[in-house]
């Protein structure tokens, strides 16, 4: 039997999280190295269109569990369904997004299946000799990159942050198989009941921003973010930050980029007053174009910057804002 690489398609109210499609793109690379197949798991209620979308993004086969019990996410119900599928079909690899939902779900699955789980990986590849999955992630505060193996248990499991891998091309003409499976669990058997849901208003979408304007300790204080917000608004982007300034209380955690924050992949990443420690770089190193401004010519951020400016950000930022305003025809503030 050919080894299977599985991807869990995370969805909420019938809308898939983009990380699911990103993982399908990577799964195709891994399956090629294994001479195996790419398959997806879609769980929910009324979610058959997502099974067809999974095929368009690269799945050769989709296991669809469509049941009213799965109308909204509960760890117990979703874990039950995925564990049952894993025990039946024995996948080689299982990938989930390192989202709030994915992190909650992955631990339950790995525990029940008595297998290993590597969280927040930044790299996945197949060892050409052993055919084991090499899972790479930062360790010891980001000071080293650890390669982790799970040679003796299956499936090999990883959670992967959104934007770690590029979004593959969608091909609606791609053909695949949809296999419908039963959940095997009634609502009466579920111990956790949902009595209500209060959504938190999301104001920052760092992970999928095209432009990010980030600040670090070089700003000197929280007031520096006023200029960053102004520039980000002009560019249609979001404001990011290093961990140091979040810890200092200069800006909320939802803006943090890096190992303990968000992984981003914008077209343009502007870093003002950020030294570029590995913990920060691991979260933004896949940006298409990096512009860095720092007074220290030896700052590590310059090693990965496409354009580096050594200078006082409080001279450069206002001039840049003025130039963008003129370019966009905004005139004076």
Domain limit, last residue, from 189, 222, 248:
189
Both structure tokens of 40: 């997806």
Domain with residue 271: its CATH number is: 3.40.50.1220
**Running DSSP on this structure, what letter comes out for residue 299?**
-
Of 154, 189, 224, the domain-final residue: 189
Cβ neighbours of residue 196 closer than 8 Å, sequence gap 6 or more: none
CA distance 83 to 6: 13
Backbone φ and ψ of 59, nearest 5°: -75, 135
Identify the CATH number of the domain in which residue 29 sits: 3.40.50.620
The pTM assigned to this predicted structure is 0.83
Contact between 277 and 257 (Cβ < 8 Å) = no
Phi first, then psi: what are they for 97, rounded to 5°?
-70, 145
Whole-number pLDDT of residue 194: 86
In the chain, the number of structural domains is: 2
Q: Which residue stretches of the chain are H helix?
A: 18-34, 48-56, 75-89, 100-113, 224-235, 243-247, 278-284, 313-328
Q: Are 28 and 174 in a shared domain?
A: yes
Residue 245 sits in which domain range? Answer: 211-328
Question: What pLDDT shows up at residue 333?
Answer: 46
**Does 202 reside within a domain?**
no
Q: How far is CA 83 from CA 16, 24, 41, 62, 107, in A?
A: 21, 20, 11, 16, 12
d(C-alpha 158, C-alpha 15), whole Å: 22
User: Last residue of some domain: 189, 224, 255?
Assistant: 189
Below-70 pLDDT ranges, the chain: 1, 141-143, 202, 330-333
Is residue 195 a part of any domain in this protein? no
Asked if the peptide bond before residue 34 counts as cis, ω within 30 degrees of 0, the response is no
The β-bridge partners of 239 are 213
Cα–Cα distance for residue pair 38/3, rounded to 1 Å: 9
């Amino acid at each position: 039997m050919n080894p299977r690489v599985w991807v869990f398609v995370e969805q909420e109210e019938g809308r898939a999280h983009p990380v699911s499609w990103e993982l399908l793109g990577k799964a195709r690379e891994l399956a090629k190295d294994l001479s195996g197949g790419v398959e997806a798991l879609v769980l929910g209620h009324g979610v058959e269109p997502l099974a067809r979308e999974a095929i368009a993004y690269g799945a050769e086969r989709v296991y669809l569990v469509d049941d009213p019990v799965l109308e909204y996410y509960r760890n117990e119900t979703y874990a039950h369904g995925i564990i049952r599928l894993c025990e039946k079909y024995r996948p080689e690899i299982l990938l989930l997004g390192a989202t709030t939902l994915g992190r909650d779900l992955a631990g339950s699955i790995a525990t029940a299946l008595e297998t290993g789980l590597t969280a927040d990986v930044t790299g996945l590849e197949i060892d050409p000799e052993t055919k084991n999955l090499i899972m790479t992630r930062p360790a010891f505060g980001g000071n080293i990159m650890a390669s982790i193996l799970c040679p003796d248990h299956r499936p090999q499991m990883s959670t992967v942050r959104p934007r770690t891998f590029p979004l593959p091309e969608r091909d609606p003409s791609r053909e695949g198989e949809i296999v419908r499976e039963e959940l095997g669990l009634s609502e009466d058997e579920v111990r956790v009941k949902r009595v209500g849901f209060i959504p938190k208003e999301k104001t920052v979408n760092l992970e999928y921003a095209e432009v990010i304007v980030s600040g670090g300790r070089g700003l000197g204080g929280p007031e520096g973010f006023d200029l960053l917000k102004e520039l980000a608004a002009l560019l249609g982007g979001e404001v990011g930050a290093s961990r140091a300034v979040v810890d200092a209380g200069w800006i909320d955690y939802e803006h943090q980029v890096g190992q303990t924050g968000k992984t981003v992949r914008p077209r343009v990443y502007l870093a003002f007053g950020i030294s570029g420690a590995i913990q920060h770089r691991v979260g933004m190193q896949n940006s298409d174009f990096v512009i860095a401004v720092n007074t220290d010519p030896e700052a590590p951020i310059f090693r990965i910057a496409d354009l580096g400016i050594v200078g006082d950000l409080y001279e450069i930022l206002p001039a840049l804002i003025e130039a963008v305003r003129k370019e966009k025809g905004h005139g004076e503030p």
